[in-house]
């Protein structure tokens, strides 16, 4: 059996990213759209960790800069979810809906 290479990880992360993007474009429920957005961020995390693991430096250790960035992305995503869900809850209280079709009072 072949060992896993960088390409396998990148393929998986590319798939996650595309799935997330497709979800944002196609789904109509704001909560689902929001989950798809998180999927896109996690795709970036996956490929960052993979890049870090395969960028071995002179001393034989992985390049940890990318893994630090992953922690930043996780933190930012958490903050974004906290604020985002609060806004969606406020919207639901005011309009009793979380569907994209129902929030088009501002003209395009």
Partner 1 sequence: MFAPITLEILVLALGFILLLAESFSNSTSKRSLAKIAIFCLGWVFAFSFFVESAPAHPEPGSFWNFYSADTVSMVFKRIALLTTIIVLVMALEYEAVLAKNIPSARTGAGTGEFFILPLFTCTGLMLLASAMDLVMAFAALELVTISFYVLVAYMRGSHTSLEAGVKYLILGALSTGFFVYGITWIFGLTGETHFAKIALKLAALQGSDTAILFALVLVLVGLGFKVAAVPFQSWVPDVYQGAPTPVTAFLSVGSKAAGFLLLLRVLEPFLGVAALSSKILLVLTVLAGATLIFGNLAALPQNNLKRLLAYSSVGHAGYLLMAIACVGVAPSALGSVGSTVGFYLFAYLLMTLLSFLILTIASQHTKGEEIQHFNGLSRRSPFLAFGLLVAMSSLAGVPLTAGFYGKFLVFAQAVNAHQWTLLALGTVTVGAGFYFYLRVVAAMYWAEPTDSSPIHVSGLSKFVIALLVTGIFVFGVNPKPVLAALQSSPAPLAATAH
By the criterion CB under 8 A, which residues form the site for partner 1?
10, 17, 20-21, 24, 30, 33-34, 37, 40-41, 43-44, 47-48, 51, 55, 63, 65-66, 68-69, 72-73, 76, 79-80, 83-84, 87-88, 90-91, 93-95, 103, 105-106, 108
The 3-state secondary structure of 6-66, one letter per residue: HHHHHHHHHHHHHHHHHHHHHCCEHHHHHHHHHHHHHHHHHHHHHHHHHCECCCCCECCHH
| 2 vs 37, beta carbon nearer partner 1 | 37
| 12 vs 40, beta carbon nearer partner 1 | 40
């Amino acid at each position: 059996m072949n060992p896993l290479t960088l390409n396998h990880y990148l393929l998986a992360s590319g798939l996650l990213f595309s799935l997330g993007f497709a979800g944002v474009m196609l789904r109509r429920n704001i909560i689902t759209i929001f989950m798809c957005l998180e999927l896109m961020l996690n795709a970036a995390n996956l490929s960052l960790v993979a890049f870090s693991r395969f960028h071995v430096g002179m001393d034989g250790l992985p390049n940890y800069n990318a893994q630090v960035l992953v922690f930043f992305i996780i933190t930012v995503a958490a903050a974004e979810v906290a604020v985002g869900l609060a806004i969606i809850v406020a919207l639901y209280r005011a309009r009793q809906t979380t569907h994209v079709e129902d929030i088009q009072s501002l003209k395009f």
